[in-house]
Structure 1
């Protein structure tokens, strides 16, 4: 598996990955998540230009997974990490998170943060296995509170969510 910065011509592929990765949410009764549109090309381009969009490639083919992130309150916040189901269970997501952790260290950031669903097996339980811990309400930084408020506006709080961090 090779990880590298996303190129502009790969942005539509990232949207396809997002749609495919969202489909399994339907089986959990989360059709709204499954049907949610991926980030727009403009949003993905913003992350790409900022140097905050990385893709995992299996050989020389197109991306099979991607991660977008941004610094939030001293940590590198994972905005989205998505793996195409055809590449699932092969350590691709883990590799992308390790790559992001290396970038965070290079930038002097204290670790990684993310928000996620608590009851989705490939969300909070998966991240906990990778060393992330759930943050208590009192530990939430202003930036994380703002992210959670935005998620609530989008209706994501219909299902339990948490903020997690790995130092």
Structure 2
């Protein structure tokens, strides 16, 4: 992980850089025939409505996580890491921050939905203690119970 990595909540001025980050992170799937929802659209509203945490290296976002309240859980709506920063522990750091936020709000579970063909992503989540709770078509639902600290 970069030594000077900091986490902070995104603000409206971050939307252009956040959009570019998410597009770059998902570009690797374009040539693999994987159809994903338009995750880089509507980010103005997303940043205004829900926590978006940025992993910053100086003034450049290297990763982002979008959080939403869900029944009895904190939902990871999107997790993106710039391909140039892949393998540096940024996704793990952002997921750890999501756990911290959930616990601070008395929430004891994280959940997310991912695509069946994003096998590297599913492997990462499993490695970090997530389990598949449902698999329907292309959609894989996963959750991670949080231990009380």
TM-score range, shorter chain: 0.7 to 0.9
Displacement of 1:122 after TM fit?
2.6
Instruction: Give the structure with the higher percent strand.
Output: 2
More helix as a share of residues: 1
Matched, 1:11 2:9: no
Within 5 A, what are the aligned runs for 1:1-167? 1-30=5-34, 32-33=35-36, 36=38, 38-47=40-49, 50=50, 52-58=51-57, 60-136=58-134, 160-167=138-145
Question: Structure 2: how far apart are the matches of 1:117 and 1:37?
Answer: 13
Unpaired segments of 5 or more residues in structure 1? Answer: 138-147, 149-156
Question: Across the two proteins, how many residue pairs are aligned to each other?
Answer: 141
In structure 2, the gaps of 5 or more residues are none
TM-score (norm 1): 0.76
Root-mean-square deviation (Å): 2.0
The two structures have a TM-score, normalised by structure 2, of: 0.85
**Contact residue 11 and residue 44 of structure 1 kept, 8 A:** no
